[in-house]
């Protein structure tokens, strides 16, 4: 049997970080299974998957060494053990629109999504009754300061050992500080055929521009608003004299369908992001 862990490293970019972290893990008997790192606007982030043979790792020594390395580099280094055989744990972030949350919960309950919905997080209390109906814990972080709200949210994600995040019409923009910790593990649904009509009021923008085809996009979240790698898209044609409300109603049905499809694809573990494009492998 092997033991598996994820190591995340975040901080201001400097030379030698990858070598020092991987070198230390090698000294502790680790086998590096996968490694992703990037530098954006001077900020370094790395996610590393490592494994050890059973009884081949001194847990206290490993953690103490990572703590010392964190201080020496001036970076955040976190270690999390996981069992690849267990169901992945999902956190669902919502604001006030219920359709995507209800669709996801129904899919989880029916077994169409092979994961465990561990918690619903929100900046409002509107959808608490819906989460309770599906017997899912609901936590509201309504701090007006975004940094404080995100700090509390990240603490909750860590406490509940969350593997990936779904934004089910969550109407707050996530900061780079948040996104770096879950690279290609945050799935969002946007009400347009990206890259057209990013940002807020996408249906209204499409309606006012007189487009003939409207759609929705499920994508991974990056630091650039509504520009993350696309996982799935669906569309429908605009009928003559179709009102904005009718467009929104039709679009919301597609949002739910497409978000469930995207989460299902993610859970197959057959999606690879290469140069900003999602490919099935």
Q: For residue 166, what is the domain's CATH number?
A: 3.40.50.170
**pLDDT over 90, % of the chain:** 69
Catalytic residue annotation: 226
Q: CB-based contacts of 211: which residues, under 8 Å, 6+ apart?
A: 196, 238
Q: Looking at residue 41, what is its pLDDT?
A: 78
Domain endpoint, select from 54, 82, 110: 82
Task: Based on the fold, state whether residues 200 and 137 are members of the same structural domain.
Answer: yes
Task: Based on the fold, state whether residues 158 and 230 are members of the same structural domain.
Answer: yes
Task: Based on the fold, state whether residues 150 and 23 are members of the same structural domain.
Answer: no
Give whole-number Cα distances, 64 to 10, 29, 35, 54, 61, in Å: 18, 15, 22, 20, 5
* Region 26-47 average pLDDT: 88
The strand ranges marked E within 160-259 are 164-167, 186-190, 213-220, 230-237
Task: Based on the fold, state whether residues 243 and 124 are members of the same structural domain.
Answer: yes
Higher pLDDT, 277 or 98: 98
Q: What phi and psi, each to the nearest 5 degrees, are found at residue 264?
A: -60, -45
Q: Looking at residue 43, what is its pLDDT?
A: 84
The strand ranges marked E within the chain are 2-12, 31-40, 43-53, 76-82, 89-94, 116-122, 138-140, 164-167, 186-190, 213-220, 230-237, 271-274, 277-280
Domain endpoint, select from 38, 67, 82: 82
Structure tokens at 40: 């954006």
Task: Based on the fold, state whether residues 130 and 67 are members of the same structural domain.
Answer: no
Domain endpoint, select from 19, 50, 82: 82
Task: Based on the fold, state whether residues 24 and 105 are members of the same structural domain.
Answer: no
Q: Looking at residue 200, what is its pLDDT?
A: 85
Residue 268: other Cβ atoms inside 10 A: 10
Does the pLDDT of residue 281 top 60, yes or no? Answer: no
Task: Based on the fold, state whether residues 183 and 56 are members of the same structural domain.
Answer: no
Question: What's the structural domain count of the chain?
Answer: 2
Q: Looking at residue 274, what is its pLDDT?
A: 55
CATH number at residue 50: 3.30.70.260
Task: Based on the fold, state whether residues 224 and 122 are members of the same structural domain.
Answer: yes
Residue-wise pLDDT for 129-162, tens only, equals: 999 999 999 999 877 788 888 999 999 999 999 9
Residue-wise pLDDT for 238-265, tens only, equals: 998 899 999 999 999 999 999 999 999 9
Q: Quick one: angle between helices 202-209 and 244-267, nearest 10?
A: 130
Does the pLDDT of residue 44 top 80, yes or no? Answer: yes
Q: Looking at residue 221, what is its pLDDT?
A: 94
Residue-wise pLDDT for 64-102, tens only, equals: 999 999 999 999 999 988 887 889 999 999 999 999 999
Higher pLDDT, 36 or 214: 214
* Region 157-177 average pLDDT: 92
Average pLDDT, the chain: 91
Task: Based on the fold, state whether residues 76 and 100 are members of the same structural domain.
Answer: no
CA gap 42, 46 in Å, rounded: 13
Task: Based on the fold, state whether residues 243 and 143 are members of the same structural domain.
Answer: yes
CA gap 134, 252 in Å, rounded: 21
The reported pTM is 0.86
Does the pLDDT of residue 273 top 70, yes or no? Answer: no
Does the pLDDT of residue 180 top 60, yes or no? Answer: yes
Task: Based on the fold, state whether residues 75 and 101 are members of the same structural domain.
Answer: no
Range of the domain at 21: 2-82
Residue-wise pLDDT for 208-225, tens only, equals: 999 999 999 999 998 777
Q: What is the dihedral of CA 107, 49, 224, 280, to 10 degrees?
A: -60
Q: Looking at residue 276, what is its pLDDT?
A: 61
Task: Based on the fold, state whether residues 77 and 94 are members of the same structural domain.
Answer: no
């Amino acid at each position: 049997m092997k033991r598996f862990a994820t190591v995340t490293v975040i901080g201001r970019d400097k030379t030698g970080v990858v070598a020092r972290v991987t070198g230390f893990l090698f000294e502790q008997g680790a086998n590096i299974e996968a490694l992703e790192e990037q530098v954006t606007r001077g900020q370094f982030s790395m996610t590393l998957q490592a494994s050890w043979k059973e009884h081949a790792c001194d847990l206290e020594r490993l953690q103490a060494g990572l703590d010392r390395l964190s201080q020496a580099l001036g970076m955040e280094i976190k270690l999390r053990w996981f069992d690849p055989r267990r169901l992945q744990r999902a956190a669902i972030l919502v604001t006030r629109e219920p359709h995507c949350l209800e669709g996801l919960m129904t899919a989880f309950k029916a077994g169409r999504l092979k994961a465990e919905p561990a918690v619903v997080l929100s900046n409002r209390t509107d959808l608490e009754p819906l989460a309770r109906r599906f017997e899912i814990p609901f936590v509201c972080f309504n701090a007006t300061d975004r940094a404080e709200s995100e700090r509390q949210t990240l603490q909750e994600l860590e406490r509940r050992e969350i593997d990936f995040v779904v934004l089910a019409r969550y109407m707050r923009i996530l900061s780079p500080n948040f996104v770096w910790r879950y690279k290609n593990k945050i799935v969002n649904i946007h009400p347009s055929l990206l890259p057209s009509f990013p940002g807020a009021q996408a249906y209204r923008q499409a309606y006012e521009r007189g487009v003939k085809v409207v759609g929705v996009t499920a994508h991974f979240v990056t630091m650039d608003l509504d520009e993350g790698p696309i996982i799935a898209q669906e569309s429908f044609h605009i009928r003559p004299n179709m009102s904005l409300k009718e467009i929104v109603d039709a679009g919301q049905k597609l949002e739910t369908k497409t978000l469930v499809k995207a989460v299902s694809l993610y859970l197959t573990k057959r999606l690879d992001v290469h140069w900003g494009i999602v490919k099935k492998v």
